[in-house]
Amino acid sequence: MGASSIDRSDQRFAAYAEDLAGSFGHADRHEPMRDYCLGLLLPIDRKSVEPMAAVMAPAEVAAKHQSMLHFVGNAPWSDAAVLAKVQALVLPQIERSGPIEAWIVDDTGYPKKGRHSVGVTRQYCGQLGKQDNCQVAVSLSVANHAASLPIAYRLYLPEDWANDPERRHKAKVPEQIVFKTKPQIAFDQIKEALATGVRTGVVLADAGYGSDTQFRTDVSELGLTYVMGIGPNTTVWVPGTGPLPPPEWSGRGQPAKRLRRDAEHQPISVKALAQSLPAEDWQTITWREGAADWLSSRFTRVLVRPAHRDNLRTEPRAEEWLLIEWPEDEKEPTKYWFSTLPEEVSFDDFVDMAKLRWRIERDYQELKQELGLGHYEGRGWRGFHHHATLCIAAYGFLITERSAFPPSGSSSSPNFAEPAIPRDYRPRGSTGPTGTTHTKLDHHDATEARRRPHQGITTMPVL
């Protein structure tokens, strides 16, 4: 690693941190912000406050630890203001390769022992692939095919937490935070992004969000287009079918207004529809280059009407696309999506957009494995969100660094002069010598994350 390369990386990071500093308010927060973000970028095993303090100030670990701990856990700076500044600095770099194409909604989990860390309860954890004690956060990312950036991030507070005054008080959960489902949190994030003028894209989400009819309806009412996963038991009306109109008025009482079903007029599950389609309706579509080869599968698409509880409605739901994936080596279809993309969208572009959701997997993979997103050891609401915001800020710097070099360039990750670490120092929670990473990849569709040669400060793939 050349000295000039280190100097240039240090200079660019200093400039980025200086641009970011104003969003933190008081000037006394600027130094711990720089130290914290740089600690997240350096190749150390554990990205919690104590080991980062030992790396950043080996001669005065206790003082640096106290400064960084207060900054991340207690200082009242605004996560929203910092994320807005990161967005302002980073989105122009992302858009050098093309306009924003998608807003990607998702959530991610962090295994956590005990019950006192904010939001911890027994729930599904994607990192473990099963139910366990964990925290879950909902995020919104903006993306094109070259890069993506989280612009909103909020802890999901389960009902047992939201309704427990004692635990709320200890974790300092703000009074205005009430129980909301994950789709409700995501919808709030989408509304806020629209209100602040973020460049719009197609809203992408998996079945955890797309199966929520109200969420899809709300997104459409904002004037946004979507491609969202749904479950195999979701029911639809195929072309040429639909619910029955209300019965004719008999002349007595109030006229009936609701749509009807009978034994001969019933919707069909998307799985049953897929299995009924002839072989010639399926096409092999290739959408992007994977780790070893181009990614391709069999798909079909059909214009349908979603049927969810339409017997309680007065008008049928609007037609939209149903996209189905059925790989040739599978016994049954594997994925289904509803979409409000225009009817004239090409099949290749349709599949490509549905599959662009993989970028959120890249975000979470890198934020967790390389930047320590899940390493925060505090228990409070503010610290949880401050740590995540700083991880996203550090991630934003990496994106700006990569954008300066073509994919075939000689450098894609910054090289920093690393502070000396005390020879006998081992941080709490470390599983090996400083510099090794043992974080497991989130199981959530992670097979689609491309792998590239490792360079520089992190082991992150080159974009």
For residue 372, how many C-alpha atoms fall within 13 Å in the half-sphere facing its CB? 29
**Are residues 286 and 316 both part of a single domain?**
yes
Residues 92 and 236 in one domain: no
Give residue 91's pLDDT: 96
Segments forming the whole domain that contains residue 262: 217-248+255-344
Kindly report the pTM of this predicted structure.
0.86
Surface-to-core class of residue 219, CB atoms within 10 Å of its CB (0-12 exposed, 13-18 middle, 19+ buried): buried
Q: Are 164 and 83 members of one domain?
A: yes
Distance CA 219, CA 217 (A): 5
Instruction: Tell me: do 146 and 187 sit in the same domain.
Output: yes
Q: What is the pLDDT of residues 126-173, one digit of tens each?
A: 888 888 999 999 999 999 999 999 999 999 999 999 999 999 999 999
Residues 22, 138 within the same domain = yes
Contacts of 167 (CB under 8 A, 6+ apart): 115, 116, 161
* Weakly modelled stretches of the chain, pLDDT under 50: 1, 408-411, 429-463
Number of domains in the chain: 2
State how far Cα 48 lies from the chain centre: 22
Residue 351, domain member (yes or no): no
Token pair recorded at residue 46: 């554990």
Write the pLDDT tens digit of every residue in 81-137.
Answer: 999 999 999 999 999 999 999 999 999 998 988 888 999 999 988 888 888 999 999
Q: What is the pLDDT of residue 128?
A: 83
